[in-house]
Amino acid sequence: MRQTVLDVRDLEAGYEPGVPIVRGATITVDKGEIVVVLGPNGAGKSTLIKAIAGLVPITGGTVLLDGKDITAAPAHTMVRLGLAFVPQTENIFPLMSVEDNLKVACGILMPRETPARIEEMYGAFPDLARQRRTAAGNLSGGQRQMLAIARALIVHPKVLVLDEPSAGLSPKFVSMVFEMLAGIRKSGVTILLVEQNAKAALAIGDRAYVLVEGKDRHEGIASELWNDPVVAELYLGQRRLNPERDRHSGKGSAA
């Protein structure tokens, strides 16, 4: 039976009053699945996901997590409620060591279990274990992303929400990050992510939404969406018209 973890209904959100960027988006994420939100540049994907995480003011609609209304919950309570968010950039504390990054995240919720949880994360991400004393700002782009994800996972969230985890990474790291996400899902974590890199995201996703002008315009099984004519029209077609941008945003480069 399907069990809905995250239920977003008719969400309206934006930075300025009277200027909504997200205009009535409805998405659901079921337990154990990876849901991908796609959309052209400026569609409001990032704003949608930040609004869910409590970082952008919500002006309409509701967000339910495990049936509980979290629409008005302040950002810093989201982790406690079970929603862990990984921002696209600046997603680590650069001057703190890898270990302190993990400690500060875990210590807020479960100070007693922190050492065990950190070891658990080191087991899952051996690269981080090797660099535990390194200042996070000195890690490579891929390792930073790894640390950011480990930092979110360490509190065992009900749902992991990621904003373009592949942005700014070199192709090698992009595939590494997506493999990592697929592995995380296998361990039972529910994932919602926003992506520019549609092909890679659809490859690991179960379902996907296409967001256009702040609304969800299309929903479908991830593996089918890539060939869906409506999607091609809405999103992929538009990108084909603009090969230059495609090259930049699709592949990206190492930061």
Applying CB under 8 A, among 6, 65, 91, 146 the residue interacting with other proteins is 91
Question: Shortest approach of other proteins to residue 213 CB, angstroms?
Answer: 19
- What is the total residue count of the chain? 255
Interface residue with other proteins, options 32, 55, 127, 255 (CB under 8 A): 55
Q: Does 77 bind other proteins (CB under 8 A)?
A: yes
First to last CA, the chain: 42
Give the footprint of other proteins on residues 107-126 (CB under 8 A): 107-109, 111
Q: How far is the CB of 217 from other proteins (least distance, A)?
A: 24
CA separation for the pair 226, 245 (Å, rounded): 19
Binds other proteins (CB under 8 A): choice among 12, 30, 33, 100:
100
- Contact status, residue 34 vs residue 191, Cβ threshold 8 Å: yes
Using rule CB under 8 A, residue 6 touches other proteins: no
Q: In the numeric block, which tokens belong to residue 72?
A: 């008005």
Strand partners, 210: 38, 218
**Applying CB under 8 A, which of residues 64, 73, 96, 182 lies at the interface with other proteins?**
96
Helix axes 114-124, 141-153, angle to 10 degrees: 140
> Alpha-carbon distance 121 to 76, whole Å?
22
Of the candidates 80, 199, 248, 251, which one interacts with other proteins according to CB under 8 A?
A: 80
The yes or no reply on residue 244 touching other proteins (CB under 8 A) is: no
133 scored as a contact of other proteins (CB under 8 A): no
Residue with tokens 């970082």, as numbered in its chain? 55
Strand-pair partners of 69: 64
Selected from 29, 48, 52, 53, the binder of other proteins by CB under 8 A is: 53
Q: Check binding of 103 to other proteins (CB under 8 A).
A: yes
Nearest of 107, 153, 146, 149 to residue 128 by alpha carbon: 146
- For residue 249, give the amino acid letter: S
Among 11, 25, 48, 92, binds other proteins (CB under 8 A): 92
Using the rule CB under 8 A, which residue among 1, 67, 72, 76 binds other proteins? 76
* H or E stretch covering 242: none
Q: Name the residue type at position 201.
A: A
Token pair belonging to 66: 């495990």
Near other proteins in 10-39, by CB under 8 A: 15-17
Binding segment for other proteins among 81-89, 185-193, 206-214, 232-240 (CB under 8 A)? 81-89
Closer residue to other proteins in complex, CB, 84/208: 84
Cβ contact 47:218 at 8 Å: no
Query: What are the residues binding other proteins (CB under 8 A)?
Result: 15-17, 46, 50, 53-57, 74-80, 85, 87, 89-96, 100, 103-105, 107-109, 111, 151, 155
